[in-house]
Amino acid sequence: MPGLVDHFRDEIADEHKMKVCELGEVVQDSVCEIQTVTDGGSEVIGSVTTAHIDELNKQAVEEKKALKELATKLTVSLKASFDDLRDSRHENQGTHARCRSV
């Protein structure tokens, strides 16, 4: 019986070593894939630099600002068109009761 226990103990130890080794390989592979190096003061992850990411973020902020300005202009234009339509159609023709009563 002690021989059987030793056999299983050795087998478990070998299995443990294999798992640790496999885990080490996975970690090493991950480190290689995510390898980060320094290139002229900016970090490189794969082929993308942090400077490139910063530039894209800056462009996104500018585009968002331009989109907001466009939305504001569109809102003003739509409101003006609505007001013109309301003035010319509803108040002159009295289409709605609330327009006639004003």
- Quick one: 62 and 102 in the same domain? yes
Of the chain, the end-to-end C-alpha distance in Å amounts to 104
Is residue 41 in a domain?
A: no
Is residue 44 in a domain?
A: no
Supply the Cα-derived Rg of the chain in whole angstroms.
35
Is residue 43 in a domain?
A: no
Burial letters for 51-88: b for 16+ Cβ neighbours within 10 Å, e otherwise?
eeeeeeeeeeeeeeeeeeeeeeeeeeeeeeeeeeeeee
26 has a pLDDT exceeding 70: yes
Tokens 């289409």 sit on residue? 95
Mean pLDDT for 43-48 is: 62
Is residue 39 in a domain?
A: no
> Which domain covers residue 9, as residue numbers?
1-34
Is residue 89 in a domain?
A: yes
Between 83 and 33, residue with greater pLDDT: 83
Is residue 95 in a domain?
A: yes
Residue 102 is predicted with a pLDDT of: 47
Is residue 42 in a domain?
A: no
What's the domain count of the chain?
A: 2
Nearest to 54 by CA among 46, 43, 65: 43
| Beta-sheet pairing, 48-49 with 36-39 | unpaired
Residue 76 is predicted with a pLDDT of: 83
Model's pTM, two decimal places? 0.39
78 has a pLDDT exceeding 50: yes
Is residue 53 in a domain?
A: yes
- Quick one: 53 and 99 in the same domain? yes
Cα separation, 96 vs 25, whole angstroms: 77
pLDDT in tens, 31-45: 666 555 444 555 656
